[in-house]
Structure 1
Amino acid sequence: MKIDLTKDWIKVKTHFRKCIEANMHVVVASVDASNIPTVTPIGSMFLNDDQTGFYFEKYATKLNKNSKTNGHVCLLAVNNGKRFWLKSLFKGNFDAYPGIKLYGELGEKRDATEGEMRAFQRRVRYTKMLKGHQYLWKEMNMVREIKFTKAEKINLGKMTNHL
């Protein structure tokens, strides 16, 4: 079922924020030059206020390569929070979307702005003292923009019909 990108954008952004908090990533699907699909988990996805977003492209090598021949992507964000699901199963319906797919087109890879780097550092601040923090997130300075063109909710029958 379609979601109005303009009217429902705040709901979409809220959903993606909750999914990043619960799962630490969203999944991005792309297609290579031979039309072979692949998915990439991205923990650095951010949505802007204008139906666009960006992610830090340090490890997403297949997305970078696929963008050269086909820039269309589909993002999937599912709220896997146990409390969210147990509450919904008990009630017999979801209070919010359990999952949303966003369709879009990749923009050019570019240097991250100071604001984008601050946003990412805020997201990973709780891991700053951990050894893996430096290994994974040192020198995160290149982003790729995405312009979203369509959104759909995940349909789970009677549990989501009212959304």
Structure 2
Amino acid sequence: MTLEQNWDRIREVVARAGHCALASVDADGGPHVTPIGTVFLRDDATGFYFDEYTEALARNLDADPRVCLMAVDTRPTLWGRMLLTGRFPTAPGVRLYGTVGATRPATAEELRRVRERVRIPVRLKGGRMLWSNFGHVRDISFTDYRPVGYPHMPSPLQR
């Protein structure tokens, strides 16, 4: 199945994952992985994330915009059920491949979405330190995906 055919299921996996990681390539050709807690997917195989606290990632993307976004559902209920039944009831994770655009100011709708996501933790001191100063995003256009899978356990998210 194509990226577009599985897009709704992919969006569900990413939404359940909460935090994601973006892999990029540094100036020496080495891999660099950055945790990103503010990834949002749209309806059309694109997304965006808030480009805050990502100096090394930003440098890498300015030189090479290709990325791999990985999202893994870490809910104990998913993994506990898999251990009991030997299969995943929903896809445990996904890797999305694409390119990232230049930094731009966030729209009012994008700011609303991130504020909704962090509305509870931002009430705490650490949450305010991390999530009070959003202003810039980068768009991501996805071109391919691969389900996260484990040997002998088929994933409900098929290629």
User: How far apart are residue 161 of structure 1 and its match?
Assistant: 5.4
Partners of 1:12 and 1:138 lie apart in 2 by 28
Give 1:27-106 correspondences, 5 Å limit: 27-106=21-100
Quick one: which amino acid aligns to residue 71 of structure 1? P
TM-score (norm 1): 0.92
Quick one: which amino acid aligns to residue 3 of structure 2? L
Quick one: which amino acid aligns to residue 42 of structure 1? I
User: Residues 102 and 161 from structure 1, CA distance in 2 versus in 1: closer, same or farther, beyond 3 angstroms?
Assistant: closer
Partners of 1:135 and 1:156 lie apart in 2 by 37
Q: Which blocks of at least 5 consecutive residues in structure 1 are unaligned?
A: none
Quick one: which amino acid aligns to residue 73 of structure 1? V
User: How far apart are residue 78 of structure 1 and its match?
Assistant: 0.8
User: How far apart are residue 79 of structure 1 and its match?
Assistant: 0.9
Q: Which blocks of at least 5 consecutive residues in structure 2 are unaligned?
A: none
Residue in structure 2 matching 1:146, options 118, 140, 143: 140
Percent identity, aligned pairs only?
39
User: How far apart are residue 128 of structure 1 and its match?
Assistant: 3.0
Residue in structure 1 matching 2:12, options 11, 14, 21: 14
Count of paired positions = 157
User: Residues 162 and 140 from structure 1, CA distance in 2 versus in 1: closer, same or farther, beyond 3 angstroms?
Assistant: closer
| Structure 1 counterpart SS, 2:101 | strand
Partners of 1:37 and 1:161 lie apart in 2 by 26
Provide, for residues 66-109 of structure 1, a one-character-per-residue CA deviation record: whole Å limited to 9, x for no partner. 01211100011111111100101111111111110000101111
User: How far apart are residue 162 of structure 1 and its match?
Assistant: 5.8
Q: Which runs of 4+ in 1 moved over 4 A?
A: none
